[in-house]
Amino acid sequence: MKTLFMGAGSMAHALMKGSLAAEVLRQEKVYVTNRSNRQGLEEFVHEFGVNKVEHEASYDVVILAMKPKDFHGAVATIRPYLTTHTLVISVLAGITIQHLSDKLAFNGAIVRAMPNTSASMGKSATAVSFNRHLTHSQKEWTMKLFQSVGIAVEVEEKQLDLITALSGSGPAYIYFVAELLEKAAVELGLQQELAKDLISQTIAGASEMLEKSGLNAQELRRNVTSPGGTTEAGIAALEEYHVREAFLQCIYSAKTRSENLGKEINTQSL
């Protein structure tokens, strides 16, 4: 598949690294363009051995990986790369499939995807939505692309704002929890590096248990919460300080912001 990456930021980097390693893409058929950062473009070409876009041409796949706010300014640049058979893949938060179709004047195959930053480590949780124009082979190829940087699941587009709030922003919540645990440990007398190592391994181990034990989060929590024990005391403190409600509000606020960002981007284009 002759593939064009439009944008050379962190998500494009992660997708390219994973897809080339998994041989979903081949270097000689990958092209990159990046209007805002020529140095970043040169670094991409040097690191991955792919091609710079030197002139307008058509592509089997065009991956939109610029900043969402830059999409409307790039529309005129994108259109010449499209044919009726092109597959357009967007990782632009907040921009709907219909909006992409309207602005690009493109009535073809469009994918909207929401990876997260763990894609750089091959551990992304990516949600993918398709419009009705994709062929079966295009859907299969798209899933392979995102599976090269983690797991990928197909969802209805209306779920993407919630998923953006959950797994798109999710790594930041985990980092925030780790940050707070580390600060608490240091304040109570533990060396910072030791605290960091213990917390990192604890999170990694808990993640492995969630993935492979066959038990859900509630069951796993109960298994380590002995009556009258230390874990029960810690959980009780979290409940007393309404952490459950705080996380609910966290997801709700992020979901609402994702919805509003989409509305703002759409309004700016009018």
List pLDDT tens digits, range 208-246: 999 999 999 999 999 999 999 999 999 999 999 999 999
Cα(140)–Cα(152) distance, integer angstroms: 11
49 pLDDT tier (thresholds 50, 70, 90): very high
Cβ atoms of 31 and 4 closer than 8 Å: yes
Predicted TM-score (pTM) of the model is 0.87
Predicted local confidence at residue 270, as pLDDT: 55
Residue-wise pLDDT for 244-270, tens only, equals 999 999 999 999 998 888 888 777 665
Residue 262: the pLDDT is 80
What's the pLDDT tens digit per position in 54-74? Answer: 777 889 999 999 988 888 888
Q: At 150, phi and psi to the nearest 5?
A: 145, -140
Digit-coded pLDDT (tens) for 71-85: 888 899 999 999 999
Per-residue pLDDT tens for 138-147?
Answer: 999 999 999 9
Q: For the stretch 27-65, what's the b/e string if a residue is b when 16 or more beta carbons lie within 10 angstroms of its beta carbon?
A: eeebbbbbeeeeebbeebbeebebbebeeeeebebbbbb
pLDDT of 94-129, one tens digit each? Answer: 899 999 999 999 999 999 999 998 998 889 999 999
Burial (CB count <10 Å: 0-12, 13-18, 19+), residue 77: middle
Mapping DSSP to helix (H, G, I), strand (E, B) and coil, where does residue 263 land?
Answer: helix
Tokens of 26: 């081949």
How many whole angstroms from its chain centre is CA 185? 31
Strand residues in the chain grouped as ranges (E):
3-6, 30-33, 51-52, 61-64, 87-90, 109-114, 124-130, 150-154
Give pLDDT, residue 97: 94
The letter for the amino acid at 229 is G
Which parts of 35-188 fold into alpha helices (H)?
38-48, 71-78, 97-104, 136-147, 160-163, 170-187
At 21-37, the pLDDT tens digits run 989 999 999 999 887 77
- For 13, the enclosing helix (H) or strand (E) is helix 10-21
Contacts of 217 (CB under 8 A, 6+ apart): 210
Distance between first and last Cα of the chain = 34
Note the pLDDT of residue 235: 96
Q: Give me the domains of the chain, ranges plus CATH numbers.
A: 3-157 (3.40.50.720), 168-259 (1.10.3730.10)
Per-residue pLDDT, 8:
85
